[in-house]
Amino acid sequence: MLLTLSIFIPMLGMVVVLLLPKDNHNLIRWTSVGIAVATFIPIVVLTMGYTDPDGESAADTLLAERERVIAEAPEAARAAILALTAEGVAEANDPGTMSDLAADDERAAHWSLVKGDREAEAAYHEAWELAIAAQAAISQNLKYVEYGNWIPTFNINYILGVDGLSLPLIFLSGLLFILCFVYSFNITKGVKAYYALFLLLETGLIGVFAALDFFLFYVFWEIVLLPMYFLIGYWGGPNRIYAAIKFFIYTLVGSVVMLVAMLALYWQGGYDTFNLLTLIGMSGNFDATFQMWIFMALFLGFAIKVPVFPFHTWLPDAHVQAPTAVSVILAGVLLKMGGYGFFRFSYTLAPEAGTSEFMVMFIGLLGLINIVYGALCAMAQTDFKSLVAYSSVSHMGFVLLGLAAFTPEGIMGSVFQMFSHGVSSAMMFLLVGVLYDRAHHRDLNKFGGIGLQMPYYTGFAIIGFFTSLGLPGLAGFIGEMSVFMGSLNAEGFDWSGTSLYAPLPRWVVYAALPGVVLTAGYILWAVQRVYMGEAKKEEYKTYSDLSGREVFSLVPLAAMCIVLGVWPRVLIDFMNPTLDVLREFITTAGIGG
Amino acid sequence: MPNLVMLALLVVVLPLAAWTYGFLYAFFNRRLPSYQDKLATAAISGSLVIALYMFFTEVLFVGSGITNPESWSFTWIQIGVTGHHPFILNLDLAVDNITVIMFVVVTIVATCVHWYSQSYMEDEDRYSRFFFYLGLFTFSMLACVATTNLLMLFIFWELVGVCSYFLIGFFFLKKSAGDASKKAFVVNRIGDGCFMAGICLIYSVLSRYWPDEGVLSFARIWESIALLGAADGPWVGNESLLTAVGLLVFMGCVSKSAQFPLHIWLPDAMEGPTPVSALIHAATMVVAGVYMIVRMFPLMAGEGYLSGNYFDSPVLFIIACFGAITAIFAGTIALAQSDLKKGLAYSTCSQLGYMVLAVGVGSIGAAMFHLFTHAFFKACLFLGSGSVIHAVHSQEMSDMGGLKDKMPHTRWTFLISCLAIAGTPLFSGFMSKEAILGQAAAYGLQVGAFWAWFPFVLGGITAFLTAFYMFRLYWLTFHGEPGDQQKFDHAHESPSKMIVPLWALAALAIVSAGIAMPFGAGHTGGHWFQDRVNDQVIVKDYLAVNASTAESRSVFGDQQQVHLVHHHDAAAIASPVVEEFHHNFHSVHYPLLGGSIVAVIFGIAGSFFFFVRNRNKDFLADIPPAVEYRRVLQNLYYVDWFACERVVPTTKDVADAAGRFDNRVVDGIVNGTARFFGRDLGWAVGRIDNIVVDGAVNGAGWLMMAGGSLFRGMVNGRIQDYVKFTAVCMGVLLLWVLAAG
């Protein structure tokens, strides 16, 4: 219930905001902040309660749902459903397809009991679906699962649930929206529409991370697209139309290909289900070629979001044109949809493809390119925001590198990097925004001497930029270190009993090492050009230091940078069980089912 | 938690507490407290008292010092689940002799610098911020030497680096300060990246052998080397990796301890305030690299570590060469420096080369000894130079001269330290330098090949050069005629807050030699200090394991309970090679003693002859062939030129090229594709639609009009076309996937 609340409070809030008088800007602003806080409360409750060992896992919930389905099924079919789905549970590792089940003599006898009776058939299918879903490896750690029928004709369900992978991202979204709403108080153009769209965006984002039904996920995914398009296209910089359309089209291309993969999965073997957990439970049955196609199709969709070279060029355009708050959401959470998708969909639905020699090298090399190439491009930028955007490209390379390694440290580093980048890049965009609001330009070469005039602001800037640089003691280091540990460990790791026979070679990681030096180079160079030296323009001497509104948006992020750097266990212990199960599942899925 | 560990934690935490207070105060008040200086000084003084207490009660007069280090450990990070190859990073702490010695070095110099800075920095803007940075630095530095986990060491190692960055760039209004701080950080990152990779590889190898454990503790790393002889040791099958790891880890030292060719950041770092140069860039942070390779000595020595025969290790020889080259390289550059602080910086570089050389020839005791003595006299030299700079407001030696009577305290302390660094008998530098050269010579004898004499020969020449260039600085600053009469007239002796630390350090420049003298209870001959150090790494149990059985993987039930044994016992167990080495060492000992005294006398006398008798500031200008060489020296052997004029611009060019490539090619393809599908293909489809379908119905005249308007529509509103395109795409891919599946 809490998950549903946190998803739909913003949507309801949008309706409320739309009903408010158009010219009362402050009312709209404060209402929106109130809604964002109201959304964050259930998220905090969820986060606090997640580690409770007595919490009901997905397996429990889904099996209870199965009981309910059986109890509600027509009397005549009940025995058959029980028998069949019990077998389905027993043989979850090799359940065969629906038709296979029907073909077997004994089963055919059961099947004939339900066949023809639409209600019985549907109950039969749903019970089977739930039985398999409860068996899926990752369902142990999923909690707060909500289940309901949405479009029964196509077996589309409303399934929500969170685990150590998605909950931190939901938490981050909830927090960032509050900060963005407060930061956006300086928006005066179309305030009502701005906040309404922003609230819709929040619904989409939290929904994406919570949805466990592929169709539902896709709907939320598309919901995210729309408000983003308008937010960039209407409130953006001079070249906003171009950037917005580019963002829209690019993401749409990716999501259409994803849709194809989704439909292919639906029809594959006649499973007729969008239930992600059921599909994961059945993924052992997908043959290698099919997995490869699925993986590539999903990969394109997610890679564009991450963004992975060479699909990254929409990002700098979108960032440079977008208003500050939109950039914050874009870098902080939106990019994580891609990384999250890899973990939740690509590797679990096509584990054999993901662990194949080709794919390990492919992802590893893309990670390498992202890191080094992204850093080089960042170094070449003269626009402050563009530099931060390219630094995102570089940092997301670590996510790919850790993913390709498949070691515990690699996977953790990858997810940790997503989270810490969400914090640090959000902070950097806010920092750039603060400066832009005063100077009305972002040209790195025209800045200088800001540190003297705005020392308090510069203190925050140091925290933000050094987190991005990967300084120990701040959040960025943990992810980077973990990825390096994990990816250099891939060759030496004990892979016995797994399907990964060709781990990521070490040279890929060695080749990524210059990225660390380049990162230091472009960040320190930018810091020097902006904050050090004498004030380059007379007007810089008149700038006021941070206002209360700006401090409010920056403080939680700075605090998270420090806390996660000094005591990373807050996050690591939270994610450990989930990621361990995920890793075990992916690396052993190819062998023996 | 054991008693000593408690004390050590206190030493580390005190400066952190002062810093944290300042941080929180600044957060709430938007400025640092005006009493941050008092706070930081009080904290470091407290640390000093505790460190000295530990030193006097546990190390100096007590038997062999700490023979059974107390330890403490807690898990900072665990990634993954126990039983599934988790990565565990412990905050290990073990208090042994080296830790206490490093504590003493850091706290003494830091306390002196804190007191000194209260006067030296008095008039500067952002005075409190200076002490804020200093506090973070002392904490990080103390933590760096307190922890006995390699990755933890790396974490604090990076933190001292960033403090160094802030302090070099303290006068950030000057562009040169900004440049220097950036250069320091980026150059250090090169070494740190390699160091990190080395740590990762160690982890990768050891975690296979000891799963479910924090394998990056020093104890485990040493033990893995001890198991080299065993049939199933962790490095078995990874021997080539071991060499690579040794070199990668050493790269960390190359950048941090300013070894050639990554030394280029250190002279530039003199842009920072002078007390910072004394603390960070002379006495403590730059020796962290040496400290680290001393700790990781078994890793560098590899197979030879087991037998005590370090002389075959290629890694160690490479280290020795790096050290020797740096020593003479920086020593020669120091000859031609006109800036007082830069001259001292190159001399630091050169002395660091000595320390690294000592590790390379297998004598970590001598390396630590030189580190210990050098910290005091070099800090004194820097603070003395600060006192002079404070008086004449210039760093150029051409503005100085004749200050000996105006600044007597500064002059005498500077002279004492010069004598110490030059290696004059009875001063500390003599003892430590002689120990290094003796070991280097013994190394040459032991190996026998001509190349093995390389470290000794270069080190020996540098000994002469050191005396020469150090006294050049001294003569040019304090003797002769004033370079700038106006500045000379304004010059005055510094206040007592600056003088007292100077005398304290100058006293230590003499007394710290006494530590090597045979006195104190339970000393063992003349190698008291070295033994204290060697104790820590020569571990009897490892050797015993190796000798008897290779099966017992957990000799140390608790990984921290490492039992250490006396150097000579270890030598007794080890092969005759060690004894031979000792014999060699003693045979070269006395000739060398005479030789180095002669070198010092010639060095000092030579510089007296040039700079006082002949008052010739450009001594190399007299001899025609030397002029060319002097130009090379003034250009710093073109290493900086190569780095700053070639490597950096090339990198920027590559970056610009990447940026252009991204903008034109990658993005160009995207836009081109979009244009093709969105406009051209849409136009074509539209044409077909119009001509074929509509044409049949409506006729050509109307068709042309409609086609034209549609065409315009396509160009202006591309979004519909894209939707069309995606629909087409979707269909095609759908069929494709289904066919494949």
pLDDT attached to residue B187: 94
Does A256 touch chain B if contact means CB atoms closer than 8 Å?
A: yes
Does A564 touch chain B if contact means CB atoms closer than 8 Å?
A: no
8 Å CB contact between B32 and B74: no
pLDDT attached to residue B222: 84
Cβ neighbours of B679 in A, within 8 Å: none
Please, which residues bridge with residue B78 across strands? B88
8 Å CB contact between A189 and A235: yes
The band of B594, judged by pLDDT with boundaries at 50, 70 and 90, is confident
Residue B233 is encoded by which pair of tokens? 């040791």
B518–chain A nearest CA distance, Å: 43
Residue B68 is encoded by which pair of tokens? 């059974």
Res B699 pLDDT > 90: no
Res A418 pLDDT > 90: yes
* B660 or A100, which is more confident: B660
A535–chain B nearest CA distance, Å: 9
pLDDT attached to residue A95: 43
pLDDT attached to residue B575: 52
What average pLDDT does the structure give for chain B? 82
Distance CA B650, CA A384 (A): 22
Residues B87, A513: C-beta atoms closer than 8 Å: no
8 Å CB contact between A543 and A438: yes
User: How is chain A split into domains, by residue range?
Assistant: 58-140, 355-576
Of the candidates A527, A47, A40, which has an alpha carbon nearest to the alpha carbon of residue B166? A527
**Surface of A (361-380) touching B: CB under 8 A:** 373, 376-377, 379-380
Q: If you average pLDDT over residues A365-373, what whole number do you get?
A: 95
Q: If you average pLDDT over residues B657-686, what whole number do you get?
A: 83
pLDDT attached to residue B11: 94
Distance CA B573, CA B384 (A): 48
Cβ neighbours of A507 in B, within 8 Å: none
Whole-complex ipTM: 0.92
| Percent with pLDDT over 70 in chain A | 94
Query: Cis before residue A307, ω within 30 degrees of 0?
Result: yes
Residues A376, B182: C-beta atoms closer than 8 Å: no
Cβ neighbours of A500 in B, within 8 Å: none
Does A225 touch chain B if contact means CB atoms closer than 8 Å?
A: no
Nearest CA in chain A to B732: A260
Distance CA B310, CA B313 (A): 6
| Percent with pLDDT over 90 in chain B | 37
Residues B80, A408: C-beta atoms closer than 8 Å: yes
Distance CA A58, CA A238 (A): 48
Distance CA A517, CA A152 (A): 55
Q: From the list B186, B238, B736, which residue is nearest A520 (CB)?
A: B186
Nearest CA in chain B to A251: B726
Give B627's contacts (C-beta < 8 A, 6+ positions apart): B620, B621
Res B540 pLDDT > 80: no
Please, which residues bridge with residue B70 across strands? B95
Please, which residues bridge with residue B87 across strands? B79
Q: If you average pLDDT over residues A529-536, what whole number do you get?
A: 88
Q: Which of A41-50, A543-552, B142-151, B530-539 has the lowest mean pLDDT?
A: B530-539
pLDDT attached to residue B490: 85
Q: How far is CA A522 from CA A31, A478, A562, B555, in A?
A: 40, 20, 22, 48
Cβ neighbours of B660 in A, within 8 Å: 380
pLDDT attached to residue A108: 65
Cβ neighbours of A513 in B, within 8 Å: 193-194, 196-197
The band of A99, judged by pLDDT with boundaries at 50, 70 and 90, is very low
Residue A510 is encoded by which pair of tokens? 């060695």
Q: If you average pLDDT over residues B471-475, what whole number do you get?
A: 90
Q: How far is CA B320 from CA B260, B434, B462, B593, in A?
A: 12, 16, 14, 21
8 Å CB contact between A57 and A177: no
8 Å CB contact between B32 and B26: yes
The amino acid at residue A390 is Y
Please, which residues bridge with residue B93 across strands? B72, B147
The band of B64, judged by pLDDT with boundaries at 50, 70 and 90, is low
Nearest CA in chain A to B738: A264
pLDDT attached to residue A592: 46
pLDDT attached to residue B692: 73
Res B520 pLDDT > 60: no
Size of chain A, expressed as the number of residues it contains = 593
Residue B255 is encoded by which pair of tokens? 């950048």
Residues A545, B30: C-beta atoms closer than 8 Å: yes
- pLDDT tens digit sequence for B183-223: 999 999 999 999 999 999 999 999 988 888 888 988 888 88
Distance CA A155, CA A214 (A): 11
pLDDT attached to residue B638: 86
pLDDT attached to residue A100: 52
pLDDT attached to residue B670: 86
Nearest CA in chain B to A545: B30
Of the candidates B67, B209, B226, which has an alpha carbon nearest to the alpha carbon of residue B548? B226
Cβ neighbours of B191 in A, within 8 Å: none
Dihedral sign from CA coordinates of B521, B522, B526, B529: negative
- pLDDT tens digit sequence for A195-236: 999 999 999 999 999 999 999 999 999 999 999 999 999 998
Size of chain B, expressed as the number of residues it contains = 741
Q: From the list B181, B658, B733, which residue is nearest A376 (CB)?
A: B658
- pLDDT tens digit sequence for A464-479: 999 999 999 999 999 9
Q: If you average pLDDT over residues B59-84, what whole number do you get?
A: 79
pLDDT attached to residue B98: 83
HEC secondary structure over B344-411: HHHHHHHHHHHHHHHHHCCCHHHHHHHHHHHHHHHHHHHHHHHHHHHHHCCCEHHHCCCCCCCCHHHH
8 Å CB contact between B329 and B347: no
Show the DSSP H helices in A306-454 as ranges.
314-321, 324-329, 335-341, 347-349, 351-354, 357-380, 384-405, 408-439, 450-453
Distance CA A223, CA A232 (A): 15
Residue B633 is encoded by which pair of tokens? 């020296």
Give B239's contacts (C-beta < 8 A, 6+ positions apart): none
Pairing state between β B70-79 and A143-151: unpaired
Tokens 């412990």 correspond to what residue? Answer: B90
pLDDT attached to residue B676: 81
B396–chain A nearest CA distance, Å: 23
Q: If you average pLDDT over residues B522-538, what whole number do you get?
A: 51
- pLDDT tens digit sequence for B299-331: 888 877 766 677 788 899 999 999 999 999 999
Of the candidates A320, A576, A294, A246, which has an alpha carbon nearest to the alpha carbon of residue B84? A576
Residues A531, B172: C-beta atoms closer than 8 Å: yes
pLDDT attached to residue B426: 81
